[in-house]
Amino acid sequence: MKDGMYTATGQGQDGELTVKVTVTDGKLADVEVVDNHETPGVSEKALTEIPKRIVDGQSYNVDVVSGATKTSQGISGAVKAALVQADVGEAFSAHVTQTSADDQPVKHLSADLVIIGAGPAGLAAAVTAGEHGLKAAVFEKNGVAGGTANMGMGPLGIDTDIQRKGFNDISVPEALEEHMTYTHYRVDEDLVQTYFNLSANTIQWLEDMGVKFAGAFKYFKESNATWHVVQPDDGSQPGPGAAADMNKHLKARAEALGATFYLETPATAITRNNGQITGVTAQATNGQRYNVTTQAVLVATGGFGSNKKMLHDELGLNLNEDFFTFNVPGIEGDGLRMMWQAGAKKDTASENVETIYLLPDNFQYFNADAAFRQPNLLINQRGDRFMNEGDMGNTTFTGNALRLQPGNYAYCIMDQAMLDDYKSNGPAIADIVHPASCFVDAEDEIKKAIANDYEGIIVADTLSELADKLCIDEAKLQDTIDHYNQLCVQNLDTDFHKPAKFLKPIRGNGRYIVGKYFTGAYSTLGGIRTNKLGEVYAGADEIVPGLYSAGQDANTIYGDSYNFTLPGNSMGFAVNSGRMAADGLAAYLKATGSAKTPVGA
């Protein structure tokens, strides 16, 4: 083996990452990730913990960090590649696992309450419980707190100071009327109004913890400016992942108020005796087992958006085949399963997804995803138009439309001249998630897609080549494009009535460029029902005493479609329902005299 410093790359969750490996006296002296494109808040523990595990274990073959599997594997793979340069062979390939505690005594703890899941709902609940003088034991499956919200941007707020300062104010009565009309009154208005009424206070509550907001924004033109986007602490441009800093402030505040967090420690069961909650069992990834005595449990595990079997069985969706999500790994319905086993009524009527549309695996092609989601010709696998593409700014409506098409996908077609025009003069549709700046970098991602034979981006020099790549009959595709171009020439869409300003003919100038968009989701919704106190129903009018839920597990407020006219809704519901459930739980413990102090941590 040759001593020295070696650099190599590996494939992470969101692109290539680079490591620098130092070999001294024939041993691994240091491993450092020197460059990466991973999502802040999701992968940061892996970026520090995996190099440490590799050095401590003198092997690149170490256990992954829960919730950051691809990042962990990318680092390990890069270290392996670096060691090949050092002529190391397989000397550092032995599998090193974290110390097992299977043969050690179970740790017995006692807590005022147990929170299962440390996403925004669980974090908000932990802070609120602390404000009531209660100390929570928080069990989180992944290696970092924050859940899917670490990839999000911020919560809903209604009638906030931020809105009024921006002349974007909307009142709670106005928002409530809009939401209930949108859902056709098929949701619990008392639950919704309680959430909306609390939301402005919650924005101020977060600001008091040190969370900064860039402002209140719309998602698309016809929506309301209710989305309070987090301003990253480092002053960088807000975008996907900005809310990770909000979660850090929530966790720090919860810990200051006495909460104890057990990361990489999934809960395994909620225990009951004679109908009463008695505790929670959990087991860490290193094998350490816990048995926690408590009279109240709050479940906020984020749904089941990463559970392939459950998505198929419950909703008929095929994860990573014709349906794609933004969910972090590990969101697999654990909380719902435990609540059902503890007496909660399974509510299949409430189960749904927060529908969007996206390119498959789109974090590696995020700029191209933005470039293609323009109001151009959108066709299904049959070669037919099926909607007014002017509505593509509404990701829920477009995702719903795609779900009705063969294979749950559609092709959005433009040509090089159109892309060049967007880069020079700005896009037809832009929003804070997909700003105009994305178009500058789209070309590089198109090149990468071609090199990787990526199914989400198709490029062709001729219509014949395009038809072949799309597996659509050439004559049919030609007829569809000719008819669409005629509508553009006459400046009147007599088929779907798309606004004239969006009628741009497809000429194939330069080349054809196509985005293949699938139905997707930020997360799943529902599976149980709660009231405005966060109490979980066991039947039509019966609750499970001591069992509470918040966030996406308990999110039943949209009916059949997420309400993008009030953006920030899911994260807003998560944070506010976490507060609401913790308030309800605190009142329950006070009434029953069940509060106690955690011991034995």
The predicted-structure confidence for 549-592, as pLDDT tens digits, reads as follows: 999 999 999 999 999 999 999 999 999 999 999 999 999 999 99
Residue 600, pLDDT > 50, answer no
pTM: 0.88
Give the confidence band of 232 by pLDDT, cuts at 50, 70, 90: very high
Give the confidence band of 511 by pLDDT, cuts at 50, 70, 90: very high
**CATH class label, 355-520:** alpha beta
For the record, the structure tokens of 387 come out as 């909607």
In this structure, of 78-92, 156-170, 432-446, 515-529, the range with the lowest mean pLDDT score is 78-92
Residue 513, pLDDT > 50, answer yes
Can you tell me the mean pLDDT for 44-67? 85
User: Please, where are the H alpha helices in 42-171?
Assistant: 44-57, 69-85, 120-131, 161-165
Residue 499, pLDDT > 90, answer yes
The predicted-structure confidence for 211-223, as pLDDT tens digits, reads as follows: 999 999 999 888 9
The predicted-structure confidence for 150-176, as pLDDT tens digits, reads as follows: 999 999 999 999 999 998 889 999 999
Distance of CA 222 to the CA centre of its chain: 24
CB 230 within 8 A of CB 215: no
Give the confidence band of 91 by pLDDT, cuts at 50, 70, 90: confident
Q: Please name every residue paired with 411 in a beta bridge, in sequence order, or none if there are none.
A: 379, 516
| Mean pLDDT value across the chain | 93
- Side-chain-side CA neighbours of 77 within 13 Å: the count stands at 13
Could you give the CA distance from residue 46 to residue 53 in angstroms, rounded to a whole number? 10
Picking from 254, 258, 274, 262, the residue whose alpha carbon sits closest to that of residue 595 is: 258
How high is the pLDDT of residue 308? 95
Residue 65, pLDDT > 90, answer no
Query: Domain-by-domain residue ranges, the chain?
Result: 4-85, 107-351+526-592, 355-520
| Sheet strand arrangement including 289-293 | 107-110, 289-293, 276-283, 267-273
Give the confidence band of 439 by pLDDT, cuts at 50, 70, 90: confident
Can you tell me the mean pLDDT for 9-20? 86
How high is the pLDDT of residue 386? 99
Could you give the CA distance from residue 469 to residue 459 in angstroms, rounded to a whole number? 9
Residue 201, pLDDT > 80, answer yes
Could you please report the per-residue DSSP string of 230-246?
EPPTT-PPP-TTTTHHH
- Supply the CATH classification number for the domain 4-85: 3.90.1010.20
107-351+526-592 has which fold? FAD/NAD(P)-binding domain (3.50.50)
The predicted-structure confidence for 311-350, as pLDDT tens digits, reads as follows: 999 999 999 999 998 757 889 999 999 999 999 999 988 8
Q: What percent of the chain has pLDDT over 70?
A: 97
How high is the pLDDT of residue 326? 74
Provide the b/e sequence for 491-517 (b: ≥16 CB within 10 Å). eebeeeebeeebbbbbebeebbbbbbb
How high is the pLDDT of residue 599? 37
CB 64 within 8 A of CB 13: no
Residue 40, pLDDT > 70, answer no
Q: How many Cβ atoms are within 10 Å of 475's Cβ, its own excluded?
A: 10
Picking from 211, 36, 37, 68, the residue whose alpha carbon sits closest to that of residue 145 is: 68
How high is the pLDDT of residue 601? 39
Can you tell me the mean pLDDT for 31-52? 82
Residue 510, pLDDT > 80, answer yes
Q: Which residue has the tokens 């060049």?
A: 420
Could you give the CA distance from residue 169 to residue 189 in angstroms, rounded to a whole number? 21
How high is the pLDDT of residue 526? 96
The predicted-structure confidence for 246-283, as pLDDT tens digits, reads as follows: 999 999 999 999 999 999 999 999 999 999 999 999 99
How high is the pLDDT of residue 465? 98
Could you give the CA distance from residue 260 to residue 597 in angstroms, rounded to a whole number? 12
